[in-house]
Amino acid sequence: MYVHWKKLHRHGMRRAQEEVVPLYEGTRHFRVYCSNVVPGMLQTEAYAAALLSTIATFQGTPDDSPEAAASRVERSRVVHEGGHRFALLMEETVLRYRIGDAETMAGQLGYLLAVMALPNVSLGIIPFTAERRVWPLEAFYLFDDHRASVELLTAAVNVSAPSEIAVYAKAFSQLAEIAVYGSDARALITEAISSLG
């Protein structure tokens, strides 16, 4: 299903955050790849508010970014609840793109360091220097093996065909192979924090 963001956000973005809560609560295994921003479920409220305000301005839709950011953080509670596993991949560029001011970015990057220590979270960073087996792609979220949500500039594409979900799962696996984890990922995040000064 192809859903235009402008239509989804015509009354603001808070409702769009709340509508996916049942999907988040029902998913046991999340696989997320983001090439452009920190995945929504790992965003701090300040980072989310800065990002969502920028999106509302670009789209010309109502800016309810403070409320939408609070809803986004609330729906992300699944990261801290039992019964959910998260495999998240980000391009190193995500650590460097300035969403909000330096303080917002420092808080966001610090939160990544904290959340990657959770036992149900695997956070991989694909370094600038990684030899590419898969080119940088649009952001996508895999919800168990039932749905893939792909984020385009103008719309969200929700994929339910098993053959297409399998292609996204294959891409995720190959991207995961070139990512770094643990202390190597922490070093990239810490380096990005240091560059904010």
Task: Tell which phi-psi region holds residue 138, choosing left (phi > 0), alpha (psi between -120 and 50) or beta.
Answer: beta
Instruction: Give the per-residue pLDDT at 68.
Output: 93
pLDDT by 10-residue block (mean), the chain, 197 residues: 75 82 94 97 97 93 93 93 94 97 98 97 97 95 96 90 97 98 98 94
Instruction: Give the per-residue pLDDT at 7.
Output: 75
Instruction: Give the per-residue pLDDT at 29.
Output: 97
pTM above 0.75, yes or no: yes
DSSP string, 68-79: HHHHHHHHGGGG
Instruction: Give the per-residue pLDDT at 82.
Output: 78
The arrangement of secondary structure in 2-194, i.e. its CATH architecture, is 2-Layer Sandwich (3.30)
Instruction: Give the per-residue pLDDT at 114.
Output: 97
Cα 34 from Cα 24, distance rounded (Å) = 17
